[in-house]
Chains A and B, each alone.
Chain A
Amino acid sequence: MSFRHIQDRGVKHVLLAGASVSIVVVALIFLFLFREAVPFTSEPGLGQFIGERWRPTSMQQVGFGLLPLITGSAMVTLLATLIAIPFGVLGAVYIAEIAGPREREILKPFIEMIAAIPSVVLGFFGLVVLAPLVKTLFGLPIGLTGITGALLLAFMAVPTIMSISEDAIRSVPRSYIDASLALGANRIQTIFKVVVPAAMSGIIASIMLGMGRVVGETMAVIMVTGNAVQFTFSPLVPIRTMTATIAAEMGEVTNGSAHYQALFWVGIVLLFVTFAINLVALRVLKSYGRA
């Protein structure tokens, strides 16, 4: 056996070990989550989660209704995604198809840098700048609302959406564009009738990944959404997300109490939501790989 051969095998085993460790760790995380959460199923019971009263520390009657938390998370996530899509996708189209090479060299890293801003810094910005703005803009009594959170999260999702969409758009075969132009379509027609549809699965995947980032974000939402646990579909009032609830309450609970277990269930719900979103994104990315 040559030295080269041994080296190859060594590297292979190291990589295999690395991959296996991460799989085991993920499995352990799942196991841990469930181990802490499971006692809740018998006492006080999963039926507790249906309802709109999340009052785990109430001195009258505790309530573990997940509805306000789920609608809070869902609303902020969907709004943030809707706001981020036009900026992310159009930005990607611009960078990939219209911007000159120098422009692209400046723009792309600049936008990707947004992703590197710590969310607590963005949260602070949201608290001091965005919230008063939202307050005056919508004439609200207070600026700490669902929409403030959504705007801030949209800002955080744009780099993800733009960067992956741009890759997808740039990998549309040159021949498509040439063919379109040869048929007499102008540049804008080519971009929106040929390039964007061809890159659509990549764009959708980028949106899903952006959504995954948004739904799990904690620090920024805790700072700007006002954290009022109320069941509402209005984005103009204070709301609370699942992540904010876990972060705000985990510190105080006694290990093993019903409240503690309930927070683990919130974590499990969150895990499944992000898992589902990522799964869809991967599926779409895969089909895009074939395109």
Chain B
Amino acid sequence: MPRLRLRVGVCLLAVASLANLAGCSPKQERPAGGAGAAGSAKSGSMSLNIKGSDTMVHLLTAWADAFMKTHPEAKISVTGGGSGTGIAALLNGTTDICASSRDLNEDERQTAESKGLALQDMAVARDALSIVVNPQNPIAELTLDQIAAIYTGSVTNWSEVGGPDETIVVASRESSSGTYMFFQEHVLKTKDYAAGALLLPATSAIVQTVSDAKGAIGYVGLGYAHEAGAKVKSLGVKAAVDAPAVMPSNESVLSGAYSVSRPLFLVVSREPAGATKDFIDFCLSDEGQAIVEDNGYVSVK
């Protein structure tokens, strides 16, 4: 409790001094509502920490660069580590904004509640997961069920899904990755990954593995698949055996035809205010969403 009081005090001081500088009365400056007042504790300084999803690091860096051009007083630092890492950091109070490529789970919501945090998540972009294989692999498309069978280990050779006689090397992200969780939930239907699945520490390691090993399969964000170019080959995904194969692209994600896609979130622990709010507003603005498209992700608008 004393800590909170101290915070509010600091916040009032900061607001007052800001108001003095701006030459207007403190009353107008102060945001309304208890949550808002708590949130503005951070707004005194314009430095923002963003931590979390590796999938979103590129995008967030691009956003931060653009934002800092128009807000020279802002200092934004972006770090990856995985969505789980970011959420843990947010719950432990060591980051201002968490970038997450998945929904928060029940445990995390409960922890937040027990700590008295009013978590808010905002979808700021969408991402398609490209299922990628080695360019030498003749396979061009798979059904969702086949992908699930490969990742859960019931299919271990490409010949079982109409390919050459070649052992399948299953490449996945680490369990701290939001992509890992998303894939497990929506493609594997919550089944466990095969024991032999490689748990690689980064998307770039998946690209490296898939481009090195003839029998490898992996999943990477659409932007990374573009970036990897000819090193990997994206597969068409069929929702059912007789459905058409859909390639991952902005259009197919927006239209809903490509099924392995997900929203990307920014999560904050209280009502956004000050720099936090400005930054999130910027991400959602037309300019911010144009950056989304430029980086190979899909706009939420």
Nearest CB in chain B to that of A226: its residue? B198
Whether a CB of chain A sits under 8 angstroms from the CB of B254 is no
When the two chains form the complex, which single residue of B82, B91, B176, B213 contacts A142, counting CB atoms closer than 8 Å? B213
A256–chain B nearest beta-carbon distance, Å: 9
Contact count A vs B, C-beta below 8 Å: 93
* Inter-chain contact A228/B196, CB cutoff 8 Å: yes
Whether a CB of chain A sits under 8 angstroms from the CB of B137 is no
* Inter-chain contact B199/A141, CB cutoff 8 Å: no
B207–chain A nearest beta-carbon distance, Å: 12
Q: How far is the CA of A142 from the CA of B169 in the complex (A)?
A: 7
Q: How far is the CA of A143 from the CA of B198 in the complex (A)?
A: 11
B28–chain A nearest beta-carbon distance, Å: 41
* Inter-chain contact A248/B175, CB cutoff 8 Å: yes
Q: How many residues of A contact B (CB 8 A)?
A: 35
* Inter-chain contact A253/B198, CB cutoff 8 Å: no
Whether a CB of chain B sits under 8 angstroms from the CB of A144 is yes
Whether a CB of chain A sits under 8 angstroms from the CB of B201 is yes
* Inter-chain contact B84/A223, CB cutoff 8 Å: no
A67–chain B nearest beta-carbon distance, Å: 11
Q: List chain A residues, Cβ under 8 A from B108.
A: 254
Nearest CB in chain B to that of A225: its residue? B198
Whether a CB of chain A sits under 8 angstroms from the CB of B191 is yes
Q: For A53, A227, A230, which residue has the most chain B Cβ atoms within 10 angstroms?
A: A227
CB neighbors of B among A201-257 (8 A): 222-223, 226-231, 237-238, 240, 248-249, 251-255, 257
* Inter-chain contact B196/A59, CB cutoff 8 Å: no
Knowing A228-B196, A238-B196, A255-B92, say if A141 contacts B213 (CB, 8 Å): yes
Q: For A53, A143, A252, A254, which residue has the most chain B Cβ atoms within 10 angstroms?
A: A252
- Please tell me the size bucket of the interface on B: 35 or more
B110–chain A nearest beta-carbon distance, Å: 9
B49–chain A nearest beta-carbon distance, Å: 16
Knowing A60-B191, A127-B208, A254-B107, say if A248 contacts B201 (CB, 8 Å): yes
When the two chains form the complex, which single residue of A135, A228, A249 contacts B175, counting CB atoms closer than 8 Å? A249
Q: How far is the CA of A194 from the CA of B215 in the complex (A)?
A: 53
* Inter-chain contact A252/B213, CB cutoff 8 Å: no
* Inter-chain contact B107/A141, CB cutoff 8 Å: no
Knowing A59-B184, A60-B191, A229-B195, say if A141 contacts B85 (CB, 8 Å): no
* Inter-chain contact A230/B214, CB cutoff 8 Å: no
A57–chain B nearest beta-carbon distance, Å: 5
10 contacts between A and B (CB under 8 A): A59-B184, A60-B192, A68-B195, A142-B215, A227-B174, A238-B198, A248-B176, A251-B82, A251-B176, A254-B88
What are the 5 closest A-B residue pairs judged by CB atoms, nearest first?
A252-B84, A252-B176, A59-B190, A230-B195, A251-B85
